[in-house]
A and B are shown apart, each in its own frame.
Chain A
Amino acid sequence: MKKRIICTVCPQGCEITATFEGDKIVEFTGYGCPRGVEFARTEFTNPLRILSTSVKVEGGCYPLVSVRSDRGIPRSDLMDCMDIIRQVSVKVGTKRGSVVIEHILGSEANVITTADAK
């Protein structure tokens, strides 16, 4: 089986084809540099995404403050993480970069604020 993907690491946008034998990728073609192979391998095996959303602020002028995961989360876990993040809130005065949730869903990733809660 073959799967195709456009590499988004740099603006060249190489179209990379991965040839599968069962679950295993046996060949990559179409990449312009090794970074593309790395990209295609993770995209086809365990794609990671930075999750960004917002949480409620208690007692602030603004109802929300923005947050993100401080590293990639498996793409398949994004919706479950949203369910957890939706439960939390922060106090007004919480500074940018504060950890809101540690090791979300048992992963390495922490959820941190990306702005001051005002």
Chain B
Amino acid sequence: MIEYTCDVAVIGAGPAGLAAASSAREAGAEKVWLIERDCEPGGILQQCIHPGFGLAYFDEELTGPEYAARFYDKAVDLGVQFSFDTTVLAIEKGNILRCLSPRGESLINAKSIVLAMGCRERTRGNLIIAGSRPAGVITAGAAQRMINIQNQMIGNKVLILGSGDIGMIMARRLRLEGVEVVGVVEILPYLSGLTRNKLQCLDDFDIPLLLSHTVTRVEGYPRVEAVYVAAVDEKNDPVLASEERIECDTLLLSVGLIPENELSRNAGIELDAVTGGPVVDSDLQTSVPGIFCCGNVLHVNDLVDHVSVESELAGENAALYALGKLPSDSKLIPVQAGHMVRYVCPSVIRQRSGKSTLYFRVTKPAKHVDLQISDGTKIVWMKSHLRVNPGEMEAVCIPTADLVGPEITINVLPQ
């Protein structure tokens, strides 16, 4: 078997991997190797042909392929080495990648590793929807790939379950292609995606949004003929008396993403029960020294701009680690999710002179709140928000040098 060596190996050439690889080169790593199982770079952005990317990073509205191309071009210019059609099968002994490609199996011995594998979609199996098992039940991302890349239409009359961004984006895409979209059904009492997408994807095309409702069963064989929809009570249990039969030939599922962490788990990396991604410190280093993590494999992001910034930090630190320059002696301060906060990433701050960015999500929508960070002795940061929404991730950058308390807590408090 062929064995190679490199300074920094990056797994996945989506926006996270591309940004991490470039910044690892910029931080001085000599040989940076990006490994991607697809035959093209860009990850999920290849199929996200809609605009809405780059407003924060480039102050310009780009489509997914354009956003990815900028990062790919930069990585190529900086001399990042690429292997496409190559899947990482395992991370062995904390620093060796076992890879498989049409050329065969190989081993890459890396001084540090960046995990950037993205996530995959939750399916009907994850939801346990009753009824027959016909063709025509498909995840929104799979439909997006079929329509935008493979030129295949998925059906004529579609019902969408889940008001996440991918579902709403697909509702508009289907409408533009002349497909009937009967509605978007959401189990929660509020929208799970961005307000902008409701406005431009649903309202623009008069597509109804049914909150506090869910799909109770699927009918038809060998193709979907109808889907039953019912209101849910406070416990999210369907109220069967309200069940209604909706005729359609396709059920599109946009019901969340799962960080793709089989590699991480098998490598012995500690995972967070809430995010499904690795537990990391503010250097974005996982529990296995020398393995860093960024993008959707770390926690599901709604804006790619956040992914790029976070991944640049992971790439830079992976380079410093490979060069033996990443300080490991700094004081560790744990970060806790407090009132109305579902999770905070990273979960530990390494106290140094610089700043740390904390990403978090609230547990439910609210209006007129104070976002407040305390270090156990005093409030170190505070800001008022008109509204917060679980679908919109919050990012806060705080200086870490003068934190004195034993732990950091983020609270979201009604005013």
Contacts and interface: CB of A to CB of B under 8 A. Distances in A.
Interface of A: 5-6, 8, 11-14, 32, 47, 49-54, 56, 62-64, 66, 68, 75, 78-79, 82, 96, 114-115
A64 B385 CA distance: 43
Given A12-B385, A12-B387, A13-B195, A53 B66 contact: no
Contacts of B149: 62, 64
Contacts of B178: 82
Interface in B82-106: none
Given A50-B61, A64-B148, A115-B69, A14 B199 contact: no
Contacts of B61: 50
B50 interface: yes
Given A82-B176, A96-B66, A8 B148 contact: no
A14 B386 CA distance: 7
Contacts of A52: 49-51, 63
Nearest to B46: A115
A54 B49 contact: yes
B49 A13 contact: no
Contacts of B66: 96, 114-115
A114 B386 contact: no
Interface string B252-287: 000000000000000000000000000000000000
Given A53-B173, A114-B65, 18 more contacts: A5-B199, A12-B386, A13-B387, A13-B389, A32-B386, A52-B49, A52-B50, A52-B63, A53-B49, A53-B176, A56-B151, A63-B151, A64-B148, A66-B65, A68-B49, A68-B63, A78-B204, A114-B63
Contact of A115 (B65, B151, B196): B65
Nearest to B173: A53
16 contacts: A6-B195, A6-B199, A8-B195, A12-B387, A47-B204, A52-B51, A54-B151, A63-B151, A66-B65, A68-B63, A75-B204, A96-B65, A96-B66, A114-B49, A115-B65, A115-B69
Interface residues of B, number: 28
A72 to B, nearest CB: 10
A54 B147 CA distance: 9
Nearest to A7: B195
Contacts of B69: 96, 115
A55 to B, nearest CB: 10
The interface residues of chain B, by DSSP majority, are classed as mixed
B150 interface: yes
Given A6-B199, A13-B195, A68-B63, A63 B150 contact: yes
B200 interface: yes
Nearest to B395: A11
Contacts of A54: 49, 148, 151
A5 B194 CA distance: 14
Nearest to B147: A54
B392 interface: yes
Contacts of B51: 50, 52, 68
List the 4 closest pairs (A to B, CB-CB), nearest first. Answer: A66-B49, A8-B196, A63-B151, A115-B65
Contacts of A114: 49, 63, 65-66
A6 B387 CA distance: 11
Nearest to A81: B176
A66 B63 contact: yes
A114 B9 CA distance: 29
Contacts of B199: 5-6, 8
Interface string B62-87: 01011001000000000000000000
Contacts of B195: 6, 8, 13
A11 B195 CA distance: 9
B65 A49 contact: no
B8 to A, nearest CB: 28
B204 A13 contact: no
A64 B145 CA distance: 11
B201 to A, nearest CB: 10
A63 B65 CA distance: 16
Contacts of A14: 386
A78 B46 CA distance: 23
A70 B65 CA distance: 14
Interface in B194-251: 194-196, 199-200, 204
A83 B33 CA distance: 44
A51 B177 CA distance: 12
A66 B151 CA distance: 11
Nearest to B51: A50
Contact of A64 (B151, B200, B387, B392): B151
A34 B69 CA distance: 34
Contacts of A12: 385-387
Nearest to B47: A66
Interface string B389-411: 10010000000000000000000
